[in-house]
Amino acid sequence: EVVMTQSPATLSVSPGERATLSCRASQSVKNNLAWYQQKLGQAPRLLIYDSSTRATDIPARFSGSGSATEFTLTISSLQSEDLAIYHCQQYNNWPYTFGQGTNLEIK
Amino acid sequence: EVNLVESGGDLVQPGGSLRLSCAASGFTFSGHSMNWVRQAPGKGLELVSWISSSGTTTLYADSVKGRFTISRDNAKNSLYLQMNSLRAGDTAIYYCARYGSGTYYQYWGRGTLVTVSS
């Protein structure tokens, strides 16, 4: 099973600043990596797939990069509504696995 | 618009059984494989099970293999998860989810809560 490790566990960023979230895979997953945003009490929402492709209606301030084992989600200018937990997920090898999540706080 | 609505979550004793349902609308249900994904309180997401569009092929996480059974009724646009021999560790919100153009989860229901406790 591919183990996904996200860092940091909690990130505190001021509005308007850049937020950088990391996700590492225990083996190469090529570019088969997705990011999800989960607000309190809600279901996850797809943000990014294929490592860097934004999903429908996702604002341009969200961007993804990386391949193989190292991936990054960047929020270029943090908005208050971006308060959420962010999950990465690999879909290269069954069983598809998720990271433990990064809790993004607004400073 | 794709819509997935889960139901059937409840409080159940250890060793008990429960059947979850997911009602799908807004797309051709019989043309898509489907998934169950769960999230334990304060924890990350975990894939539980997958079923092919026809229902003939299924896959399970090791943690539920032999205890859970995924099924579907394409005539009723419905997905099911039969959960037997439930354990405290199965306590979670269970989400019904559909892939997008690749095998990432583009569409999610709102989830149904299963609590296993005496």
Q: Is the pLDDT of residue A51 over 90?
A: yes
The verdict on a CB contact (< 8 Å) between B103 and A45 is: no
The verdict on a CB contact (< 8 Å) between A91 and B104 is: yes
Q: Is B41 on the interface with A (CB under 8 A)?
A: no
Judging contacts by C-beta atoms under 8 Å, the chain B residues touching residue A101 are 44-45
The C-alpha atoms of residue B23 and residue A42 are separated, in whole angstroms, by 18
The C-alpha atoms of residue B99 and residue B84 are separated, in whole angstroms, by 26
Bridge partners (DSSP) listed for residue B66: none
- The closest CB to that of A49, out of B47, B100, B108, belongs to B100
In this structure, what token pair is assigned to residue B112?
Answer: 């149904």
pLDDT, position B71: 98
Mean pLDDT of chain A: 97
Bridge partners (DSSP) listed for residue B59: B50
Ordered mean pLDDT values, 10 residues apiece, chain B (118 residues) = 97 98 97 97 95 97 97 98 98 96 93 97
Closest CA relative to residue B30, chosen from B52, B50, B4, B7: B52
Q: Is the pLDDT of residue A42 over 90?
A: yes
Q: Is B40 on the interface with A (CB under 8 A)?
A: no
